Copies of this chain bind each other. A is one copy, B any other.
Amino acid sequence: MTYFEEYELGSTRQSHGRTVTEADIVLHAGQTGDFYPHHMDAEFAKTLPGGQRMAHGTLILSMSVGMLAGEVNDQAMSYGYDRVRFIRPVHIGDTITSRSEIVALRDHAKRPESLGLAEEKVEVLNQRGEVVIAFVHLYLVNRRPRSLS
């Protein structure tokens, strides 16, 4: 249970790696209903830059968020993402890792006495060290309750 006061600007996290498989793409198409040939048709994909089927952007985003979901912090709540950018395609067999850094800590506009805002910059890298997706994960975090005295 980590309160806002314990968040530190510049602190970082790093996930384990995970290989993006054909099965992941098939399952994500099945979960979302997005069967675009860019993701699902190996023959068509030969005509694309890279020449291969590409993972859905939402798959890599979802996986990277999950890869950084470590210990539950009951004091924090995810409330959105900013500047999600799909920078490079992810192909079947690529292995991705997520790394993150706390880049901003601010008061909550309306409830500054009880809530803080944390911005965690996340970058997802492939096995060649190239950034494939980047985004900022936004959290609402409770401040430590003041002791009565």
Contacts and interface: CB of A to CB of B under 8 A. Distances in A.
Interface string A78-121: 11111111100000010100000000000000000000000000
- Copies of this protein in the assembly total 6
Q: Looking at chain A, what size class is its interface with the partner chain?
A: 35 or more
Contacts of A11: none
A80 B72 contact: no
Interface stretch (A2-10, A51-59, A141-149): A51-59
A31 to B, nearest CB: 6
B26 A69 contact: no
A27 B85 CA distance: 25
B84 A82 contact: yes
A67 interface: yes
